Structure formats: C-alpha cells, structure tokens
Amino acid sequence: MPLGSNPDSRTSSVVVLGNDALLAALPATPVQLAHACRALGYDMAFPASWGDEVVAGNCLDRLDDFGDGPVILCSCPLTRERLEKSGDELAPFVMHTVSPPVAAARYLRALYGERPLRITFAGSCPGAADPAIDARISPAELLLAFQEHGIVAAAQPEYFESVLPPDRRRYASLPGGAPAPERIHEADSGRTLTELNCPDDELALEIAQRLVSSEREVVDLGPHVGCACCGALALGAQSAARSRIAALEPPRAALPVLDPSIRVEVALSSGVEPAGSPRYALARSRVEASDDAKIDARTGIHAADAQLASESAESTLAAPTAHRRRTASIRRSAGRGPLMAGEDGAVVPRAFAVHARRAKRVDPPVPADRGRAGEPLGITADGARRTRRVTRPVVIPLSSELPRVVPPPPSRPHTGLDDPEIGAAAGDI
C-alpha cells in the first residue's frame, strides 16, 4: 500500500482512474496511465476496480435478502432512471448500491484513516457526485492536462520500480460492480448472472417475464443502459465493453485483493422491503388473506368473481332493452277513458268498446278509410275525425363515444290530447 510514501501530515492527492478513462487513454496501458498521473502531480493512481470489488462484495452479502427470485442490480444512476420508468412494482427486487467510484473513494478514506486525503475521480460516471470525492474530471480533460504539461502517456514506463503499486487484479467483480459468475455460484448455488441484451422498448417485458417465472438470477442492466463504469460509453458497443476492459487487466486473483477487515457501507435504502425479507413475506400474506376474505357469506362467491358476473349480466341484458320498451304495457289512468265511435259516428258505450276491441284482436277488420301515408284515423275527445300519430320507438345502436349534452327541445303548444290515456297510447307525446 502507498501509505509509506507520505510519512508527514501533508494532504495526499490521489486519483481514481475510471474504467472509461483506461479505454480513452489507449494505446497507453493502465500502468503507463498511472505513471502519467504521477508525473502530473498525483501521489498515487488507484484503479476503479477497487470500487467494483466493494460493490460486488456487498451484493454477494445481500443475495439472501431477496429470496429465490431474480435480483436486479442498480449501482448506476442510468439504471435507476430506467427502472423508475417501469413503476414501483420492481422495487422489492432491486438491489440499490452507490456507484463504484463512490465505493472506491469511501474505501480509500477508511484505508488512509486520519491522514488528510484529497480524492479526484477521472471518469464519466454521473454517480460520482458524492462528498467522498473532492474533484471530478472527464477522461478528455485528463488527456488535455497531459498535453498541456507535455506528458505523453504512451511514452511512460510500463512497470513500477520505486513504488509498490495498487493491486489491479479482480477477485469478486466485473467492470461496473456486478459480481463475477463464479462468486455468485459460491454465494448462492443455482443463481446465475444475466446481462439483458434487448431493445429498450422490450426491457420492461423481459424483466416482467423473469419475475413471473421466478428465475434465480442476478440481472445486470449496466451495459444495456450505457454505464460508463462498464465502458459502454467509451466504446459505443455494449456487448464488447467489459471484454475490452478485462483485456487490459491482469489475470484474476485467487484471493480477495482488498482488506476484508475494512467494511464500507455502500448499500442504499429504497424504502421498500426486499422480496426475500420476512416483512415482505408477511405483507404479501396479509394482502392475499385480505383478498380471500372478500367472499360473500350468503352466496360463497368471491367479490371479484361476483363483480365479473354482474358486469357480464349487464352486458347481456343491454341488447334486448329496445324490445322491452316496445312491449311495455300502456299506463292506465284513473280518470275517464277514451271515447270510441261507430261507423255512423255515434259514440259507442265504454263497455261495448272494450268488447269490440277484444273482438278486433281476434279478427281485425281492414279499415276502409286511411289517413295520409297509411296513418290510422281516430276520434278525439271532442268527436272530430283526425289523424292520430302513433310514434314507434327507434333503436339507436350503441356508440363507443361518450354521450354529448343535448339541450332540451322547445315547449310545444297544447295539441288537444287532454286525455292521459290517449297520450299514453300515442307514445307519451
């Protein structure tokens, strides 16, 4: 460790080189880039893989909290923003952590202890905005600083001679902070690592299918959303980003490269219980019990089934509504009934009119005199012969549009149909 290089109490200035900075400095190797940073004035250059190791170790420790279903890693603000578009349903399955640059900075401060330390992060990760990091520069700004000071990164030594360099090997992580597949298998046998590679408009459907099937896997969206710590932004190719970064690193270590006695808090609380926690299981059981309790004690039918049956019955009865209106009985009045006239114009008594009306129903005669357009003739209350309108109901087909507000029709003058039964027989004019 580089702690012996600063025995005095002056502030040490170190830089954390992001994975995208390693790709931006090509063809210079990571060792040459670290030498160039020392020539620029930094006391030491640390790899961002230390932050990946801290995040991956925290993910492995928390796998049991999420049960047997899928776990969605979320250490990048781009991933968090993409998941928020799908709503809150995924919250119990998402494992939130700080970004790898923040994890690396917190680990360095715990490692240096009380020694004054100034940390600069060189990379494009938007999640590096944290009090643990004092300054941030982009890879392009770092290369421009080399050019302004006349430092050629590719001309720097390829080995360390007088300084013990930080270990750049990986043990538990992949670029971006995802746990390595072999470490996942050791922590939870049967669980695998999945990198989704699908169109963005199909991402929500892909995750939903994994939730429904309860796949035992760790889902990593970093390369898909263009995570800078995975190198996706620097290369512009999601699938080849991690393999290019791995090609610049030494072979994997057989043992952890970080001090296991230094514990760094990198987990973020989402305010939602994880899917495997006892509280989440208790809440789910209460919801299911509440749904089962919604059963009618008299019929024994579930409330949801009863509602569905009611809606189905309403839709079935909606079609013959017009027919029922046509066959509805005529309202009877308590007052005097209508007057009927015979062929000679004389008023027929009410009792005989009823008998004659029943007889006509058996063998209705064909009237000789018809009004205009085939309308029947009738005798009004004053004995005058006039055409009596008989309105017929009109069946209007249902429309999917919402009904519009129609103003009421203007009032009509009195037509002389003062008898309520005549009005009822004429269609309630």
What is the rounded average pLDDT for all residues in the chain?
Answer: 74
pLDDT of residue 289: 53
pLDDT in tens, 38-85: 999 999 999 999 999 999 999 999 998 888 888 999 999 999 988 888
Nearest-10 Cα torsion for 295, 301, 304, 307: -120
Assessment of whether the complete model's pTM goes beyond 0.75: no
pLDDT in tens, 109-132: 999 998 999 999 999 999 999 999
Per-residue pLDDT tens over the stretch 63-76:
988 888 889 999 99
Query: In this model, does residue 86 exceed pLDDT 90?
Result: no
pLDDT number for residue 208: 82
The listed range with the strongest mean pLDDT (230-234, 250-254, 266-270) is: 250-254
**Three-class SS of residue 422?**
helix
pLDDT of 167 strictly over 50 = yes
Stretch 22-29: mean pLDDT, rounded? 94
CA 78 remoteness from chain centre: 15
Binning pLDDT at 50, 70 and 90, where does residue 267 land?
A: very high
Contacts of 380 (CB under 8 A, 6+ apart): 386, 388, 416, 417, 422
Q: For residues 302 and 308, what is the distance between their CA atoms, to the nearest angstrom?
A: 10
Summarize pLDDT for 295-341 with one digit per residue, the tens. 444 444 445 444 544 554 454 444 444 444 443 333 343 444 444 55
What residues does each domain of the chain span? 2-281
Q: Which two tokens stand for residue 70?
A: 């899928």
pLDDT beyond 50 at 359: no
Higher pLDDT, 203 or 170: 170
Look at residue 213 in the predicted model and tell me its pLDDT.
80
In order of 36, 140, 153, 249, the CA distances from 30 in angstroms are 10, 16, 9, 8
Would you state the pLDDT for residue 342? Answer: 56
Distances (CA, A) of 9 to 3, 81, 375: 11, 42, 114
Could you give phi then psi for residue 14, rounded to 5 degrees? Answer: -125, 160
C-alpha–C-alpha distance, residues 313 and 39, integer Å: 82
pLDDT on residue 231: 81
Quote the pLDDT of residue 117: 96
State yes or no: pLDDT of 6 exceeds 60: no
Q: What angle do CA 34, 40, 44 make, to 5 degrees?
A: 45
State the Cα angle at 226 between 195 and 72, rounded to 5°: 40
Q: Give the per-residue pLDDT at 176.
A: 93
Helical pair 30-40 and 139-148, crossing angle rounded to 10 deg: 60
User: From CA 376, how far away is CA 367, in angstroms rounded?
Assistant: 8
The pLDDT score that the predictor gives to residue 127 is: 93
365-424 per-position pLDDT tens digit: 555 444 444 444 455 555 555 555 554 554 445 445 554 554 555 555 544 444 444 444
